[in-house]
Amino acid sequence: MINFNLSNRVAIVTGGAQGFGLSITERFIQSGAKVIIWDVDKEAAETALKKINSKNCIYQIVDVTNFEKIKKNLIDIESSHSKIDIFINNAGIAGMNTTVAEYPLEEWNKVIDLNLNAVFYCCKAVVPFMLKNNYGRIVNIASIAGKEGNPNASAYSSSKAGVVGLTKSLGKELALKNIAVNCVTPAAAKTRIFDQMTQEHIDYMLSKIPRNRFAKVNELASLVTWLASEENSFSTSAVFDLSGGRATY
């Protein structure tokens, strides 16, 4: 395993108590960072802290669809840690598997609010802190579904496509600063998000991956750790595929 240097870096990982987020958090801790997990599931966050077992990891219960709550917690973190270097937008939900014609409006808004609006809120709120220190690394976790569109997953696919567009816009806005903004578009991985999907949809996703397996959480964590490191000094406003060969562009 390559050791990327995140010593003395302060990182926030949304949805950091499980799945991709937990793996990213663990890799960051191993790389020397101080990590603040943002999650709404207190039990999962406490379990994650016990598993990580490091004085460099804490959690805050944060609803990332609440802009004022985001700002308050960022101020608290800067006050206690002096700075914010890295922000990982990972929190998200799959939403229902059904057709556009049958997709409930309430469910659509719920998925868009967490998967896209919350990413915008977090980016909008954290950028001023990074500008103040002339350093930052933002990594948004999108999905291959955002590039290709999965049938019966219109809200999820649309929200992740929006994350790609947001990443490209923000990266260009900050290109002359020492702040890199990138996103990763992974294929599906066997995390708790599968609990929200039908078996038919899971089978469909697997059938589209040439490597004939799902992504592993540590594979995503490895890529994200490099993107969050100082070694990533040039790539910004970019989309990094982790799709097992599925991506066609």
Is 215 within the bounds of a domain?
Answer: yes
* Higher-pLDDT residue of 92, 197: 92
pLDDT band at 205 (very low <50, low <70, confident <90, very high): confident
What is the reported pLDDT for 191?
A: 66
Is 248 within the bounds of a domain?
Answer: no
Is 246 within the bounds of a domain?
Answer: no
Is 3 within the bounds of a domain?
Answer: no
Catalytic residue from among 59, 103, 121, 156: 156
**Based on the structure, what is the number of domains in the chain?**
1
Q: What are phi and psi of 186, to 5 degrees?
A: -80, 155
pLDDT of 78 above 90: yes
Question: Whole-prediction pTM value?
Answer: 0.93
Is 88 within the bounds of a domain?
Answer: yes
Model pLDDT for residues 142-165, shown as the tens digit of each residue: 999 999 999 999 999 999 999 999
Active site residue 135: no
pLDDT of 21 above 80: yes
Q: Which domain holds residue 107?
A: 10-240
| 154-173 and 118-133 helices, crossing angle to 10° | 20
d(CA 249, CA 240): 11
Highest-pLDDT range among 102-106, 185-189, 202-206: 102-106
Is 4 within the bounds of a domain?
Answer: no
What is the reported pLDDT for 42?
A: 97
Is 178 within the bounds of a domain?
Answer: yes
pLDDT band at 193 (very low <50, low <70, confident <90, very high): low
What is the domain-level CATH number for residue 60? 3.40.50.720
Mean pLDDT of the chain: 94
What is the mean pLDDT of the segment spanning 193-202? 71
Is 218 within the bounds of a domain?
Answer: yes
Task: Give a three-class secondary structure readout of the chain.
Answer: CCCCCCCCCEEEEECCCCHHHHHHHHHHHHCCCEEEEEECCHHHHHHHHHHHCCCCEEEEECCCCCHHHHHHHHHHHHHHHCCCCEEEECCCCCCCCECCCCCCHHHHHHHHHHHHHHHHHHHHHHHHHHHHHCCEEEEEECCCHHHHCCCCEHHHHHHHHHHHHHHHHHHHHCCCCCEEEEEEEECCECCHHHHHCCHHHHHHHHHCCCCCCCECHHHHHHHHHHHCCCCCCCCCCEEEEECCCCCCC
